[in-house]
Amino acid sequence: MDRSTFSVDGKPMSESEIDIVIEGRRRSLAGFPVRRVLPFTRRRMVGPFVFLDEMGPHVLAPGQGLDVAPHPHIGLSTLTYLFSGELLHRDSLGTVQSIRPGEVNWMTAGSGIVHSERTPPALRAQGHELFGVQAWVALPREEETRAPSFQHFGEGAIPHIRQDGVEIRLLLGEIEAACSPVPSYSPAVYADVTLARLRGMALPERYEEIAVYVVGGELLDENGTTYGQGNLVVFGSPGQTIRAGMSGPLRALILGGDRLEGKRYIDWNFVNSSKERIARARADWASQRFPPVPGETEFIPLPKGLSPVVDYP
């Protein structure tokens, strides 16, 4: 099998082919419920993915909304993807961009960017459900100080693959002959996948590390073990076959890529290969030396009493 292709059916994965299963932990983001998947104590990264939060699903009553005030990032790209609802992104580059289901917001912090994410006024007034995922992708060392940038990709720009009960929306990287327009700075893959009942799919082999996050339904292995919503199944080797559970279809996110060179450190919203850059970013934010988000007056203060910078192998 070509290293960039996938196939359907085939032998399901076995428990021995699974490196670790991570169950998302409940957290709160500006009062909004999220499920924190990465980082995890025993698995800091999958390929270049260093952070994964599932937002909701949560119904917001009329007058309620998500309000994440301006906050900084360095050394990473963020990928925001929604299943339902809408968010309004603003950043220090002057970007004002709504994101809706099936679209991708790709923000590369590089040397430093500030952004906010809020429920748009019209939806706040009427109430709605918000459900989505935000991932952080650490940058290679040579890209960590690049100029910050933001790109939005409409639903029509995202490759959509359908084959024998498998449906794939390719958010990042390559699968089959399809290539996402989202500009990853290292080999990485991120896809929204739906499998029909009992249908299987072989994961792409071209990436060193690969994992599947269960959004809905159940993932089934050959021993009959199922992995339900909120579980990240990390594989010990690429090319394994995943299968929808007995009870119905599976919706999942496939994510991974090649390992980055050297260590990464994380402190709050800062990810970098250099502790000195992180210390400088902390000091700059505490003194409000980052560029502001036009039209925003709020900001999230630098948290106090954080533990020492965490090493990411």
C-alpha angle with apex 45: 44 to 46, nearest 5 degrees?
A: 145
- Mean pLDDT throughout 89-97? 98
Average pLDDT value for the chain: 90
End-to-end Cα separation, the chain, in angstroms:
31
* Cα–Cα distance, 90 to 219 (Å, whole number): 36
- Residue 168 burial by CB count (10 A; 0-12/13-18/19+): exposed, middle or buried? buried
User: Residue 186 in 3-state DSSP?
Assistant: coil
pLDDT tens profile 248-260: 999 999 999 999 9
Q: At residue 5, does pLDDT exceed 70?
A: no
- Mean pLDDT throughout 103-132? 95
Residue for token pair 């003194």:
287
Confidence tier at 199 by pLDDT (50, 70, 90): confident
Please report the pLDDT score of residue 15 as a whole number.
Answer: 55
pLDDT tens profile 126-150: 988 999 999 999 999 999 999 999 9
pLDDT tens profile 276-293: 999 999 999 999 999 999
